[in-house]
Structure formats: C-alpha cells, structure tokens
C-alpha cells in the first residue's frame, strides 16, 4: 500500500501534534515495513528527518506551489497524490486537502479534540471560524475519522453531527523510552543537568487556562507549611492567564517552590535541553504528576507518567478517566483543596504511592505501541 500523510506537523511541530505524527509514522514503518510512506511537507525542515528507505518526503515544486505553500498543502497537493498513485491519505491533525475525493485515494483524518468548540473564548474568534471550517470539512469528506479518545468521538458526534459508525477510537501510545527503567547513574546525570531538587512534584503542559496551572499553584500554597516539596513545571505560557499565574506565585512567595524548567536560560541555549530522551528520567525522579486539566482530547502526559511508574493526580472529567483508569488519583479540577489532599496523601503514604505505580504500569499495557499501530492499520484496511 502507498500511504500519504500530511506531514507539516511531523517536520515542524515540537509539541503534541508533531509528537503524535512522528510517533505514528515511525510505528507504521517499524511494524508494517512492506508499505511505502509518502510525507507531504510544505517546506524543508532542519529540525526533524526520516531516513528509513520506506519513507519518501514530498515537497512542493514549481510555481505557484513553491510560492504559496499553504495553498499547496490544503488544495494543490491533490495533484501530487494522484500522480504518485497514493492509495490512502491520512490527515494527521484535523485536516485533509480539498478535492481529495477526486484523486482516487481513500482518506482518513485524525481529530485530536474540539476544544475550540467547547472553549471558543480562549481562542481568537477568527481562528475559531477557521478551525471549525477545516475540521468540519475533514469530518464530512474523509472516508474514516480517527478520534484519539471516546471523549473526542462524542464531541465529533455532538458538534458536527457525524454518524458514530464513521468514527474509530484509536488510543495513542507514547515513546517506548518512558517504559524503560532509567539507571541510577543516568538519573543523577539528569538531576544535575536540570538542577532538580531531591523530591518534587511534576507538571507537564502548556500554561493556559484549560490546563489549570493556577489551581495547582493554589494547592502548593495550601501545602506551604506541611511539606517542603517544590513543583517542577515543563511547559511555556503567555498572555493574561500566564501573567495571572506568575502574579499569584510572586504575591504568595512561591518563587522557590515552583520551578519552570522551560524558562531556564539553558532552554534557549542548549539544544539538548528538555529533549525527549531526558524526560523519562525526570518523570522517574518525581514524586507524582499533577495534571488536573479541565479538558483534554487525550492527555498524553498522563500516559507517559503511567509508563514511567509515576503516580498521577488528574481530573475526574473529560477523557482523563479513560487514560488514567483505576491507577490515578482523581480530583475536581476546580478544587485546589482536593489537589492538595492528593499531593499530601501520595507524599505521606509510600504504600499508596507504590500501589499507584504498579496499577499505573499495569493499566498502561492497554496502550502499547503495537496495540496502537494495529488499531490504526485496522482503520486503513477497513476502507
């Protein structure tokens, strides 16, 4: 089979959509090397590369494609799809090209979430209109839709009125690195590189209103006199909500209790800073993961933590119970008190923490890379 991908995020995106794209492409090559994989990339990238012989990168060529690369990706790429005899085209992040149905290729689109529909006030109004148009078009015209959780599937049904039989849930996995036990020597090296405290809670994710960092900070404030365990944050932020979080930290004297690794000078000068290879070690050094988000399409850091045998405190809403199963400590995301209570329990009760680590590892086996890539291939074969 000749399979094409919208590879913009795979080549250019450092965060969730890029990670999803690169992971899936790599797994497909590893488990199904008999296929040919064509990555349609709107512009060259020096950031990521795929060197497997089964992979061919396709860039726009000639005028006007090289001048209007966005238009090539969203429309004109269909000429290349047809010319190359692509059997199936997969839009990895909410989009498929206009006119894909006329190429002879079957199409699949992955919908990660419809957060812009649920929380439009957190987006630029123009962006909401653009996202809605693109997502609706993809859902309507794709032969199959992959949703990354039951929550996302239900949102597609509710917001876009798509028949449920057109949507398959394929739970993603994470890098196999998170499932490997990091040696004590490597942990010491990582702790030194990032100047990590001997004990710490961990938060991973963009600092925005939906991710709920302010209530995490409030929980830290509630516990200020009960335990001397700082919070390490991996994630950047900007805008009014980020300013609100920073103001709360300053006004309550939490500067030394909340450490933003992503803001360290090394994060701007050291290309190896916070690379994926170091993250499992950071996870395995932590006391617990704090992820009390208000809403997610999947919640990848929860999965990474379970694979790392790291206890997780997360929300009892959205898709979080899907990902955390019976292994996580669930809280009302609106309650800083509940978040603080979970932190205190896990910190003070080694038996509870050990039980959560074991349950987390066992539950994570439902999301192995092989199960994930097999579920995606089943979707491909079904059309």
Domain identity same for 255 and 124: no
d(CA 3, CA 106): 10
Note the pLDDT of residue 174.
86
Ramachandran quadrant class, 310 (left: phi over 0; alpha: psi -120 to 50; beta: rest)? beta
Note the pLDDT of residue 175.
84
Overall number of domains in the chain: 2
Beta bridge partner(s), residue 233 = 203, 260
d(CA 162, CA 146): 12
Domain identity same for 168 and 237: no
Domain identity same for 155 and 194: no
Domain identity same for 74 and 153: yes
Note the pLDDT of residue 14.
79
* pLDDT band with cut points at 50, 70 and 90 for residue 268: confident
Burial class (CB in 10 A: 0-12, 13-18, 19+), 141: middle
pLDDT tens, residue by residue, 277-325: 999 999 999 999 999 999 999 999 999 999 999 999 999 999 999 999 9
Q: Is the pLDDT of residue 15 over 80?
A: no
Tracing tokens 């932190």 back to the chain, one arrives at 343
Domain identity same for 156 and 180: no
Domain identity same for 182 and 297: yes
Contact 313, 332 (CB under 8 A): no
Domain identity same for 140 and 74: yes
Note the pLDDT of residue 256.
94
Domain identity same for 85 and 184: no
Tracing tokens 């996202």 back to the chain, one arrives at 131
Select from 176, 179, 157, 158 the least CA-distant residue to 168: 157
pLDDT tens, residue by residue, 87-127: 999 999 999 999 999 999 999 999 999 999 999 988 899 99
d(CA 200, CA 281): 13
Domain identity same for 66 and 154: yes
Looking at every residue in the chain, the average pLDDT score rounds to 95
In the 8-state DSSP scheme, what is residue 152? H
Cα-based distances in Å from 207 to 19, 58, 272, 359, 361: 18, 35, 22, 28, 27
Domain identity same for 134 and 228: no
- Render the burial of 274-284: b for 16+ CB within 10 Å, e for the rest: beeebbbbbbb
pLDDT tens, residue by residue, 177-226: 999 999 999 999 999 999 999 999 999 999 999 999 999 999 999 999 99
Region 249-264: what's the mean pLDDT? 95
Range of the domain at 358: 176-366
Domain identity same for 114 and 188: no
CATH number at residue 251: 3.40.50.2000
Select from 258, 287, 285, 286 the least CA-distant residue to 347: 287
Note the pLDDT of residue 74.
95
Region 16-28: what's the mean pLDDT? 92
pLDDT tens, residue by residue, 56-94: 999 999 999 999 999 999 999 999 999 999 999 999 999
Note the pLDDT of residue 19.
87
Beta bridge partner(s), residue 329 = 313
Domain identity same for 318 and 232: yes
């Amino acid at each position: 089979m000749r399979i094409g991908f919208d590879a913009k995020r795979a080549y250019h995106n450092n965060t969730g959509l890029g990670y999803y794209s690169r992971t899936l492409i790599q797994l497909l090559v590893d488990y199904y090397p008999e296929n040919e994989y064509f990555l349609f990339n709107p512009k060259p990238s020096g950031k990521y590369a795929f060197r497997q012989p089964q992979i061919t990168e396709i860039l726009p060529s000639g005028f006007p494609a090289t001048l209007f690369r966005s238009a090539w990706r969203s429309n004109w790429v269909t000429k290349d799809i047809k010319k190359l005899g692509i059997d199936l085209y997969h839009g990895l992040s909410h989009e498929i090209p206009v006119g894909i149905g006329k190429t002879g290729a079957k199409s699949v689109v992955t919908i990660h979430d419809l957060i812009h529909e649920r929380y439009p006030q957190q987006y630029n109004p123009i962006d909401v209109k653009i996202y809605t148009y693109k997502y609706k078009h993809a859902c309507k015209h794709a032969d199959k839709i992959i949703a990354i959780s039951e929550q996302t599937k239900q949102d597609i049904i509710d917001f876009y009125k798509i028949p449920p039989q057109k949507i398959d849930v394929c739970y993603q996995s994470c890098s196999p690195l998170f499932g490997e036990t990091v040696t004590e020597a490597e942990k010491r090296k990582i702790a030194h590189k990032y100047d990590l405290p001997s004990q710490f809670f961990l938060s991973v994710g963009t600092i925005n209103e939906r991710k709920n960092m302010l209530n995490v900070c409030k929980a830290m404030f509630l516990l200020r006199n009960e335990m001397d365990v700082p919070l390490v944050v991996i994630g950047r932020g900007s805008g009014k909500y980020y300013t609100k979080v920073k103001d709360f930290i300053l006004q309550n004297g939490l500067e030394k209790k909340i450490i933003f690794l992503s803001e360290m000078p090394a994060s701007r000068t050291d290309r190896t800073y916070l690379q994926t290879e170091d993250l499992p070690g950071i996870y395995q050094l932590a006391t617990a993961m704090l992820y009390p988000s208000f809403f997610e399409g999947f919640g990848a850091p929860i999965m990474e933590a379970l694979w790392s045998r790291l206890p997780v405190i997360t929300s009892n809403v959205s898709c979080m119970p899907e990902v955390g199963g019976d292994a996580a400590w669930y809280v009302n995301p609106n309650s800083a008190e509940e978040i603080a209570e979970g932190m205190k329990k896990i910190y003070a009760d080694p038996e509870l923490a050990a039980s959560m680590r074991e349950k987390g590892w066992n539950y994570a086996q439902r999301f192995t890379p092989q199960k994930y890539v097999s579920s995606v291939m089943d979707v491909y074969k079904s059309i």
